[in-house]
Structure 1
Amino acid sequence: MSETSESKMSGVLEVYDAKKTDKLIITLEGIAGSETIGAIKKRIAQKKLTLTQERQALRTEPKGKPVSDDQKLSDLGVSSQKGVLYLRDLGPQIAWKTVFMAEYAGPLFVYPLFYFRPSFIYGESAANSVYHPAVIYAFFAWSFHYAKRLFETQFIHRFGNSTMPQFNLIKNCSYYWGFAAFVAYFVNHPLFTPPAFGDLQVYIGLVGFIISEFGNLSIHILLRNLRPAGTRERRIPKPDGNPLSLLFNYVSCPNYTYEVSSWIFFSIMVQSLPALIFTFAGFVQMTIWAQGKHRNYLKEFPDYPKSRKAIIPFVL
C-alpha cells in the first residue's frame, strides 16, 4: 500500500499508562499510519493540558524503550485502524540549558566566598594569612573551569533532548554547589598545608590542568560539529586534526577523560583530600555515562572501532 493511500485511512489510537497498563489515558480518532510520534504527542498535549510534549515518553510496549518523535506509526507496526501505545509521564520538565547554567554558576560564586577568607568562616585573623601560590592558582583554575562550562553551555553544546525532570535541578545543584564549598573550605583555609614536593608539584598540577581543560574544550567543539543545528544526527566521532582530539582513537568519550584528568591535576596541585574525593565522585559518574554512550555507539554503528574503550585507554 502506498503512503498516499495509507494517509487517507483513519483509525483510532488508544494510549494507556505504561505503569498501569489497564488505565486508558486518551483515545485519539482520525489517526493515519503516516503520522509521527511527535504529531501524536502534540495531539495528546492539546487534549491533556498537563501532559506537555516534553513530559511524554511513548512506547509500543509498556516496558519498552521510548520511541523517537520522527518515527511513523506505520514504521512501528502500530495499526492505522486500531492502534495502541503506552505513555509514561516523565513529570514536570525543565530545559537542559537552564539546569546546566544553574549548576555551573553556583561553584563560580561559592568558591570565591571561601577564597577571600571571610571572618565568619575562618575567624578574624584569617584575612591576614599569606596565600600559598597553589591556593591562588587553584582559585583561577576553578574559576576558569566553571566559566568555560557556562560558555560551552551557552555557545557550544547542542542538546539531543531539550528538557530533563525538574528534580534534576535540585539534585545537580546540590552536588556541584556542595562540593564547591567542601573543596574550597579546605583549599583556602589559612592552615593550608603546601604540597609535599613544593613548586614542582604545583606547576605539574597547573600545567596538566590547563592541557586537560583545552583538551576537554576541543572535544566539545568536535562533537558540536558532528551534529548540525536543529537535528539529532549521530555520527562516529573521529580525530579532526587537533592533536588533543587524538584521544578519540582510544576512547569513546575523551571529553570525560579530559574532565577527570583536569581534576586529578587540580588535586595534585593543591594536595587536597577533599579535591581528590570530588575527583573520584566525578569519575564514577562519568564512567557510568561513558559506558552507556560506548554501548550505544557499538549498537548503533556496525563499523564502530572495536578497539576503543569507554573512558580510560586500553582499560575501561
Structure 2
Amino acid sequence: MEIEVLDSRNSKVVAKCNVKSTTTIKDLKTQVHSSNKKLHPHRQAFRLEVKGKMLKDSDTMESLNLRSGSKLYIKDLGPQIGWSTVFLAEYAGPLLVYLWIYQRPWLFYGDSSAEISQTAHIAAACWTIHYAKRLLETIFVHRFSHATMPLRNLFKNCIYYWGFAAYVAYHVNHPQFTSPCMTQVYIALGGFLISELGNLSIHINLRNLRPPGTSIRKIPVADANPLTALFNFVSCPNYTYEFLAWLSFSILTQCLPAFVFALAGVFQMAVWALGKHRNYKKEFKDYPKCRKAIIPFIL
C-alpha cells in the first residue's frame, strides 16, 4: 500500500512510500531519507495530524490503522547532535570553569594573597565529584531512548550550566568569602555525598531496566540497594537526589548563588518530572498511585 508523507508546515507532499502493515515508523523514516537526503532519520518526527502526538519508531502501519492512501505528517526537527555529545559538553564545561576560577585567576580577583578557606576546598571537591560522576555516567551508564537532540539545545544548555558554574565559583572562591561553621559544613558534606550516591544508584537502576540497543520501557521499582527505595515515593528519584545534592552544597557554602542554582535546577527538574510522571501513568495502567513526581507526598 502507498502512504503519503506531507510536510506539517504547508501540507506539501514530501514523499510517497510503499509500505506493508508491518512497516514501522523507523522503517518509514529510512524510506523518506532515501528520497530526500536532507531529512536524516534522526531529523524526522511523524504525526497522524499536523499538531498531533509524535509517533514512536516502533509504531507499525497496522497499529496506527493506516491504509493505502492514508496521510502522515512529517516535521523536520532541524540539525541534530548526539545526546552523549551534548551531555559531555554540558558537564565538562562546568567542571573546567569552576576549577579554573577556584585557582583565583587574576582576571577575576586581581592580585590576592588571601588564603583559600577549607570550605572552598571542600566545595571544589564536591563540584568535581558531581560533574566527574556525570561525565562517567554519560560514558558508561546512560542508555538513551533517543539517539539525538536538536543542535540548538546544546548552546542553550551550555550557557545555563557554564554560566551558573562561573556565577557560583566566583562567589565561593572569592577572597572575602566567609565560611559557615565547620559543623554545618561537615553535616552538609554528608548530605551531599549520600545524595550523590543515591543519584548514581537510581541511574544504574534505570539502566538495568532497558536492555542494550532497545527503547523498552518498564515501571521503575526499587532494587536491593536501599538508596533506590525512593522509587516507592516518587517517579523521578534521580531528580530528587540531584536537588538534595545541590541543596546540601548550598548549605555547605552558605552562598546565595549556590541556592539560586539549586532553586533553578529543582524548578526545571520538577517540570521534567511532572511530564515523566504523567507519561508513566498514561503508559502503565497499574502504575503505583501513591507516587508523586519528585517530592514525596507533595509534588
* Mean Cα deviation higher: 69-78 or 146-155: 69-78
Q: 1:158 aligns with which of 121, 138, 143?
A: 143
Q: CA deviation at 1:68?
A: 1.3
Match 1:25 to one of 14, 33, 43: 14
In structure 2, distance between residues paired with 1:77 and 1:156: 37
Would you say 1:34 and 2:25 are equivalent positions? Answer: no
Which residue type is aligned with residue 279 of structure 1? A
Q: CA RMSD in A?
A: 0.9
Q: Any unmatched runs of 5+ in structure 1?
A: 1-10
Q: Larger Cα Rg: Structure 1 or Structure 2?
A: 1
AA of the residue aligned to 2:134: R
TM-score normalised to the size of structure 1?
0.93
* TM-score using structure 2 length: 0.98
Q: Residues of 1 paired with 2:57 and 2:294: CA distance?
A: 30
Deviation for aligned residue 1:290: 0.5
How far apart in 1 are the matches of 2:122 and 2:75? 48
Q: What is the distance in 2 between the residues matched to 1:46 and 1:73? A: 19
Alignment of 1:64-75 (within 5 A): 64-75=52-63
Matches within 5 A, 1:188-207: 188-195=173-180, 198-207=181-190
Distance in structure 2 (CA, Å) of the matches to 1:252 and 1:32: 38
1:46 equivalenced with 2:29 (yes/no): no
**1:218-258 deviation per Cα after TM superposition (whole angstroms, max 9, x unaligned):** 00000000111111111111110111111111111000000
Q: Which residue number in structure 2 is paired with residue 187 of structure 1?
A: 172
1:75 aligned counterpart, secondary structure: coil
Match of 1:139 in 2: 124
What is the rounded CA distance, in whole Å, between the counterparts of 1:310 and 1:49 in structure 2? 41
Match status 1:172 vs 2:170: no
Q: Deviations over 1:30-72 (max 9, x none)?
A: 3322211111110100110100000001111111111111221
Separation in 1, partners of 2:221, 2:23: 36
2-structure distance, mates of 1:300, 1:32: 26
1:83, CA displacement in angstroms? 2.0
Question: Would you identify which runs of 4 or more consecutive aligned residues in structure 1 move more than 6 Å?
Answer: none
**Alpha-carbon distance, 1:120 to partner:** 2.1
- Percent identical residues: 55
Task: Indicate the residue corresponding to 2:3 in structure 1.
Answer: 13
Distance in 1, Cα, partners of 2:20 & 2:270:
43
Q: What is the CA–CA distance in structure 2 between the aligned matches of 1:222 and 1:134, rounded to whole Å?
A: 33
User: Would you say 1:265 and 2:216 are equivalent positions?
Assistant: no
> 2:65 aligns to what?
77
**Partner SS for 2:289:** coil
Equivalenced residue count is: 299
